[in-house]
Chains A and B, each alone.
Chain A
């Protein structure tokens, strides 16, 4: 892997940038691998990278139905935070955030992690009580979080309507200063480049059509590029978990819904902080390019269509104009949807399955992007060691039998 730096940029400028090498190879699949990862999104690529880096397993293929990083990795609102209520979630997302904090250097690719703070608003007394519970729990879990008064919020986000007579008055909020955003595409590309450099084969345009088994053990995957044998198969897909699981007869507690998002035309900076209002489903940040990036809610029905729809965003923009009056004359440039696989407790499933050598990592719902490195890190461990890491142990499929759910619904609502 040729190192990226200002010096390599200057050096290549002399040769008119004609000598850059490809960021990752595009090999044909070998007949067999030690591990096949199904799904070339951020989570799958991170899994492959950490398998190679942390566990020395480099005979790995990542097979991707289309082009890498273009599913939910490339369709989210790029928010990163770890301010979760439950210990299980907080520890997992905090691991992820810590990995994020060193990722640009580790992968030698600027993922533009911008820790500009993530602010959650409270609009009524009930919100305030929930916020306090959350902030206290997060702090005692050793994660930064603080409560802000309406006055402090106004100073932090001057464009916010903090009038007490607003329809959604801002009574207070919680701030995680280490929260923020990262460039979503760059995360996928950076993991792909680094995994490739360690010998991982990334095979694009290769759809898995079946899972081969011998008795209770997985032996490989059937793909549109032929059979690929593997001792272990890890499925890391978003928006298609049920389709893949059905191949091994696994029923999942997952439903797929479109999550609506949009961006405005680019404008000069007006908003430094990520602002989230779960009560009215507004999630807002401003990208480095100047676009306001807005996340809304999910459509209530099951869908695999990545199309933008109107009702959700109309409702969200009405709340948004109320909260941020100056955005009224800005304009929606683009709207789209990502397909999110939602579990009943709004927490993911990461772990082993009844099929030996078959591991799953999905159901991240609306919160997958911020988990990317952490998810890959624990999943690599799970595959390599054939047992879950303590961080993902609570996120087993069995929890739906025992009732040991990690219910982030009440606490997070739709969380990006």
Chain B
């Protein structure tokens, strides 16, 4: 392991007593607790750390936060590997392993760098202009392009980690824990309001963590510590460090990504989730999100060693890591002079401060000169030199307008260039909230203008940079926000924290340094470092007509990288505005979309994965089915027994056995999943008359009736049997999948249209377990279980209901049938379901009672020609289409869907109508979904006249049967039709859709 040769001897907020080992690109290094991966790499002098996306140029660390475009690494290996991490945001832990992405074989020798040699052929959007020959070859080119693109690698195994979601309310949510945010949180917290303060870093303080500043007459960090301590002591305040506010949605709803154990590595306790997603509904929001420095653009400004001035200061002050040994500071504003002084203080030689402003004056330039640092006013860095790392810069004078260079060029040797082109307020969340931005000329950047939600921006995020102003404004905003949330200042008023005033000269808006060579010839001026977008690319886009900010972004990919252009976008707009000769505000800004920084899919999914992805519904008898090895099918959220295979049986065998048992003896089915709606009230009858197609007036108490429900468009929506339990009391059953929808449908009509109807609806689907006993011996079986219900055909006719006791349990028994056999559906309170089921099985033993599943049920009902809504209907099917005109009342003046049935298309002859199909070869079972043609000899596109809706082997009939919807089918009985399949065509004769006991003798028996 090499020593940390670029670590300063003293200072920084690192813990030198806790050295940590880590591995980068296979080499082992040492850092300290408190380091980020980036600061540890700098302390070890590692460069380059990455290769760029397109040209594979070597790159170093540019920033110190979320804005980092270059230092993108693959963190860890195996199932916990994490692609595309910014080294600047990865806290160092012991044993950390990381590697550069998108380079092969290594970051130092990357074969992809051949692209850099071809760069003249690869301008912005080159791929739109080529790869078109020969026709159809694009996908072969694309194969290589896809493999060259992408950054990191996805894990190969499922995620071993866990993610939680937290829902909470806040009176005031403060985003950002720098001086403005801390002041706002203090002010709001002291009123007693519920305050959340979230900050993306591991500790609060923001830019103050770089040290040096003074608040209330002492070191700023003392004030930070006191403020955090005070906030921690407040009962209603929640502090969230390592928590990035990622999304700002409608109605003041924000998401916060809290990284709970990411910084602990293998030491992460197993009881904690890896991350938490906080979903906060905030009364008021204070955005104290700070600002991001932006670079100045000059020739080959992507060399490793060229970084944001503020980042250099952070590495030196906060991490005691030396990003270089001889620096040039290049700035158009005063802030970087402070950096020059900090570097000098840390023992880094500062060769010069290069400033495009003609005569940099004021306290900071003066202090810099006094320190013996040369200040080159009216000059600019025009180019960087050096192979792997910057070795020198070229400095020239600027003409008055800043549009050209003058004088002799001077070469300044350096291995670090600290650039500052001014500051962009971090307005992402403000923009996401719907707020409108304004371009501020003095700042040369966008600042919040008009709010769309209950929110205010403070501090650098609002374009306020002086510490004294940030504290004052933050404090005030905290009080305002709390007041608007209903909390007034309590007790004696406490004053806002104070800081000494600082005098700074205005910046000179400056974006791209002119040079003696035309841009785009030979050297490259990078705007977007991650996606390798240069000034020449922007010029090309504009030349070709891609002149709006959005077109430019899409054509050049500027700002589309994982950093979403946090440092480059405004520069890009400035270049665009210069080229189209319009001011920056008129070329616009691109939209800031959530999230601010990327959010894990697993985190957004939370716990709702695996078995919890969707609730699974099971009947009261489910365990029995499971124990008997039933195969299940999913019907909506329900698990329904599909069939009950015995040892060695195929599905076909089992289903045939189950069907024959019902036809010949007795079968039993768990029908609990059918939807059940309890309808009560004096107007219950009127409701039924509205929503069903048939008339309900003469239904007697204790009798059942089948009903068909239509949508207002006249199409079949649901069906089921409804029973009159008492004068004003009905029980409606629905299809299993349609239960929730039907209840919602009825409620909608009752509450929005027929407000005068006195009816109450209750879903009782899960109150009752339903055991359907079907078959010629059903009565015999049931008679052993009940003594208080007369089961005789006369006393208990088909389509009626009797209440009584079954197996000692109070029950409602319905004599209805979906199988065509004599059938009783026993309804008992769900908690008795299993007991009654077991009693039925025991009582049925002597008849060979056979449990049957949904597949047998489907076959049995198809033999009878009963439809299943969703199989024989598809939302385009009328009652007439399925041969059920008989159930559509001609007398009722109106019901839902009635008017639609007389529209030209719904009333026309020859619609798709339900028929039976009998294949010519009785052993041939048609596939469900097979399409029917009349002229099988034609080639596609063929005219299709219908499709098979249900198709089975009927064990009872010893042949195949099918139901189908066929154009004009009711008049086609006897015709031969054809179903073309892959490799063969099956012919069948159209028949009545009833194959078994058409007169219904058996079910009435």
Contacts and interface: CB of A to CB of B under 8 A. Distances in A.
Nearest to B611: A167
A392 to B, nearest CB: 17
A290 B544 contact: no
A318 B609 contact: yes
B434 interface: yes
Interface stretch (A149-157, A212-220, A302-310, A362-370): A302-310
A356 to B, nearest CB: 24
A105 interface: yes
Contacts of A325: 157-159
Interface in A103-140: 104-105, 108-110, 112-116, 123-126, 129-137, 139-140
A325 B155 CA distance: 9
A289 B530 CA distance: 13
A186 interface: yes
A22 B130 contact: no
A407 B877 CA distance: 11
Interface string A162-184: 00000111000000000000010
B857 to A, nearest CB: 13
A336 B593 contact: yes
Interface stretch (A221-229, A241-249, A266-274): A266-274
**What band does the interface of chain A fall in when counting residues whose beta carbon is under 8 Å from B?**
35 or more
Interface in B376-433: 432
Given A268-B147, A403-B903, A330 B540 contact: no
B635 A18 contact: no
B135 interface: yes
B980 A22 contact: no
A67 B550 contact: yes
A322 B942 CA distance: 40
A75 B184 CA distance: 38
B605 A321 contact: yes
Contacts of B591: 336
Contact of B593 (A129, A290, A335): A335
Contacts of A307: 249-250, 432, 434
Interface string B511-551: 00000001011000000000000001000100111111011
A276 B164 CA distance: 27
A46 B543 CA distance: 23
B604 A314 contact: yes
Interface stretch (B458-466, B779-787, B922-930): B922-930
Interface in B83-123: 83-84, 120-121, 123
Interface centre among A167, A309, A402 (most CB of B within 10 A): A167
B270 interface: no
A265 B531 CA distance: 13
Interface in A298-320: 307-310, 313-315, 317-320
Contacts of A322: 605, 609-610, 613
A126 B855 CA distance: 12
A99 B564 CA distance: 34
A132 B929 contact: yes
Nearest to B550: A70
B81 A133 contact: no
Given A21-B544, A135-B929, A265 B875 contact: no
Contacts of B146: 269, 286, 288, 290
A409 interface: yes
B905 interface: yes
B931 A136 contact: yes
Contacts of A104: 132, 135, 138
B362 interface: no
Given A110-B131, A142-B940, A329 B81 contact: yes
Nearest to A269: B146
Interface in A6-53: 6, 8-10, 13, 16-18, 20-26
Interface residues of B, number: 113
Interface in B605-635: 605-606, 608-611, 613-614, 616, 633-635
Interface in B906-943: 906, 927-931, 933, 939-942
Contacts of A133: 928-931, 947-948
A132 B548 CA distance: 47
Nearest to A404: B905
B139 A114 contact: yes
A308 B674 CA distance: 38
B601 A110 contact: no
Interface centre among A17, A26, A334 (most CB of B within 10 A): A17
B268 interface: no
B544 A20 contact: yes
B664 interface: no
A114 B159 CA distance: 30
Contact of A267 (B83, B123, B614, B944): B83
A321 B930 contact: no
A329 B159 CA distance: 7
Interface in B552-606: 554-555, 557, 560, 562, 564, 591, 593-595, 598-602, 604-606
Interface centre among A123, A266, A329, A401 (most CB of B within 10 A): A329
A403 B544 contact: no
B870 interface: yes
Given A18-B520, A403-B900, A317 B536 contact: no
Nearest to A19: B543
12 contacts: A18-B518, A23-B546, A113-B138, A129-B871, A130-B929, A136-B981, A265-B152, A288-B145, A314-B605, A330-B154, A330-B600, A403-B906
Closest 5 CB pairs of A and B: A290-B150, A132-B929, A133-B929, A328-B602, A328-B159
Given A70-B550, A168-B613, 20 more contacts: A6-B130, A6-B133, A16-B518, A17-B540, A20-B544, A26-B545, A112-B142, A126-B870, A133-B947, A137-B931, A139-B982, A264-B601, A267-B151, A268-B147, A270-B154, A307-B434, A326-B159, A328-B600, A328-B609, A407-B874
Interface of B: 80-84, 120-121, 123, 126-133, 135, 138-139, 142, 145-147, 149-159, 161, 247, 249-250, 253, 255, 279, 432, 434, 518, 520-521, 536, 540, 543-548, 550-551, 554-555, 557, 560, 562, 564, 591, 593-595, 598-602, 604-606, 608-611, 613-614, 616, 633-635, 642, 713-714, 870-871, 874-876, 900, 903-906, 927-931, 933, 939-942, 944, 947-948, 980-982
